[in-house]
């Protein structure tokens, strides 16, 4: 007889726990044979795909300034492989997604770290420090992540403009994989794209739209990216399934906004509850995850306690964030369950 496998709650990879909008499943059900067996002929219309056209309209920019890829990961990789060669300098935030360093290494780029600093209730970009390093090092490419993984902080519009005004001689890549959770205003992007020809803004359907498994993302490109456009061009078209699913997601804004409100409330719940616990500190975050500092002596025992209860969160191990957890905001039920487990763990730890 088959035994039922215990269900594991994964709050470790910033995946959307509510799942994509119902319209995404309808898009899959309504596929026809042509969509599956034929290449797209969109290039004959002078566009990459119906999705790039839709995104261009939504963001108010030209279709040729929209790039499509298999998620932000793919677009980042293509960008670095296109622009960076052995010995070129690339600026990377001190705390950031590990993948940035990996792709810089793939092409022999020289990694220059710039500071993200711990403040009272959040991390922040040290803009002056960042600009000083830029002026000294003259990098070929600057990677900025906003909101940043794992710290959750972001650049505001004025900071972004200040940075872009000063970094005109480099390619500036803004990874905005998590941008939609706490900022649904896209109006500023048109100005940024039209003003700064060196900027590339990467977004994805993986996080806010809950489509990580579909592998689709896009970038909005300033006017100076012909080289990257050519590098990434696909004559035979893009994945016709993912395009349709992504379009259905874009048409389901209400569904996603409702979920986002629940996630925002739970983010507050986590911050309030963790900050009440002695030795814990939960930082302000603009993404779908929260970084929490914990007393270092509890780290191994807490990890064991949660693992035994099929609860997986990310225990950080990098320099400077060694006693930190990164928790993906899950469903309300999952979030409550995690919070109760942490409190039960502390009760037991206090007794022994």
Question: Is the Cβ–Cβ distance between 132 and 139 less than 8 Å?
Answer: no
Binding string, residues 73-92; x marks residues near ligand PLP by CB under 6 A: x-------------------
CB of 349 vs ligand PLP, minimal distance in Å: 31
The DSSP line for 76-141 is HHHHHHHH--TT-EEEEESS--THHHHHHHHTTPEEEEE-EEE-SSSEEE-HHHHHHHHHHH--SE
The only residue of 20, 72, 210, 222 in contact with ligand PLP, by rule CB under 6 A: 72
Strands 141-145 and 89-93: parallel
Q: Which two tokens mark 263?
A: 């996630």
Question: Is the Cβ–Cβ distance between 208 and 109 less than 8 Å?
Answer: no
Q: Which two tokens mark 235?
A: 């004559």
Category of 196 on φ-ψ map: left (φ > 0), alpha (ψ -120 to 50) or beta:
beta
Selected range binding ligand PLP among 68-76, 86-94, 230-238, 298-306, rule: CB under 6 A: 68-76
CB nearer to ligand PLP: pick between 139 and 210 = 210
Residue with the CB atom nearest ligand PLP in the bound state? 71
CB of 207 vs ligand PLP, minimal distance in Å: 7
Q: Which two tokens mark 78?
A: 């293509």
CB nearer to ligand PLP: pick between 9 and 341 = 9
CA atoms within 13 A on the CB side of 125: 29
CB nearer to ligand PLP: pick between 211 and 341 = 211
Binding string, residues 210-249; x marks residues near ligand PLP by CB under 6 A: --x----x--------------------------------
Residue list 172-201, contact with ligand PLP (CB under 6 A): 175, 177
* CA–CA gap between residue 117 and residue 263 (Å, rounded): 26
CB of 126 vs ligand PLP, minimal distance in Å: 19
* Residues β-bridged to residue 117: 124
Q: Is 86 exposed, middle or buried (0-12, 13-18, 19+ CB in 10 A)?
A: exposed
Measured distance between the N- and C-terminal CA atoms of the chain, rounded to whole angstroms: 40
CB of 177 vs ligand PLP, minimal distance in Å: 4
Q: Is 264 exposed, middle or buried (0-12, 13-18, 19+ CB in 10 A)?
A: middle
CB nearer to ligand PLP: pick between 70 and 280 = 70
CB nearer to ligand PLP: pick between 288 and 323 = 288
Binding status of residue 149 toward ligand PLP by CB under 6 A: yes
* CA–CA gap between residue 125 and residue 11 (Å, rounded): 26
CB nearer to ligand PLP: pick between 109 and 342 = 109
Binding status of residue 71 toward ligand PLP by CB under 6 A: yes
Binding status of residue 206 toward ligand PLP by CB under 6 A: yes
From the list 127, 177, 120, 181, the residue with the least C-alpha distance to 156 is 127
CB nearer to ligand PLP: pick between 231 and 280 = 231
Binding status of residue 285 toward ligand PLP by CB under 6 A: no
Strands 217-221 and 66-69: antiparallel
CB nearer to ligand PLP: pick between 72 and 210 = 72
Binding status of residue 288 toward ligand PLP by CB under 6 A: no
CB of 48 vs ligand PLP, minimal distance in Å: 17
Q: Which two tokens mark 109?
A: 């780029």
CB of 305 vs ligand PLP, minimal distance in Å: 26
Residue list 308-347, contact with ligand PLP (CB under 6 A): none
Question: Is the Cβ–Cβ distance between 46 and 240 less than 8 Å?
Answer: no
Could you tell me how many residues of this chain bind ligand PLP (CB under 6 A)?
13
Interface residues toward ligand PLP, by CB under 6 A: 14, 71-73, 97, 145, 149, 175, 177, 204, 206, 212, 217
């Amino acid at each position: 007889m088959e035994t039922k496998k215990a269900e594991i709650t994964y709050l470790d990879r910033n995946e959307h726990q509510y799942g994509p909008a119902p319209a995404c499943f309808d898009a899959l059900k309504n596929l026809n044979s042509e969509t599956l067996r034929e290449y797209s002929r969109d290039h004959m219309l002078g566009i990459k795909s119906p999705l790039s056209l839709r995104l261009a309209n939504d963001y108010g920019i030209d279709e040729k300034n929209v790039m499509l890829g298999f998620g932000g990961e793919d677009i980042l990789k293509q960008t670095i492989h296109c622009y960076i060669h052995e010995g070129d300098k690339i600026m990377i935030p001190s705390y950031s997604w590990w993948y940035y360093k990996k792709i810089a290494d793939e092409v022999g780029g020289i990694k220059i770290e710039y500071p993200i600093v711990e403040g009272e209730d959040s991390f922040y970009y040290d803009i002056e420090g960042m600009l000083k390093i830029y002026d000294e090092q003259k990098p070929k490419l600057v990677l900025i992540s906003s909101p940043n993984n794992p710290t959750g902080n972001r650049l505001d519009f004025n900071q972004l403009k200040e940075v872009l005004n000063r970094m005109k001689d480099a390619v500036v890549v803004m990874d905005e994989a998590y941008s939609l959770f706490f900022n649904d205003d896209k109006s500023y992007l048109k100005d940024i794209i039209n003003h700064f020809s060196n900027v590339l803004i990467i977004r994805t359907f993986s996080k806010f739209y809950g489509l990580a498994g579909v592998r689709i993302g896009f970038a909005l490109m300033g006017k100076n990216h012909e080289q990257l456009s050519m590098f990434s061009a696909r004559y035979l078209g893009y994945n016709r399934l993912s395009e349709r699913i992504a379009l259905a997601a874009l048409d389901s804004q209400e569904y996603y906004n409702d979920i986002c409100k629940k996630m925002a409330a739970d983010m507050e719940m986590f911050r309030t509850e963790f900050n009440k616990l002695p030795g814990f500190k939960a930082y302000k975050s603009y993404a779908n995850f929260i970084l929490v500092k914990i007393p270092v002596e509890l780290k191994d025992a807490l990890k064991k306690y949660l693992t035994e209860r099929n609860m997986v969160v990310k225990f950080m191990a990098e320099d400077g964030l060694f006693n930190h957890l990164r928790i993906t905001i899950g469903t309300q039920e999952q979030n409550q369950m995690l919070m109760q487990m942490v409190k039960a763990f502390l009760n037991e730890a206090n007794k022994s």
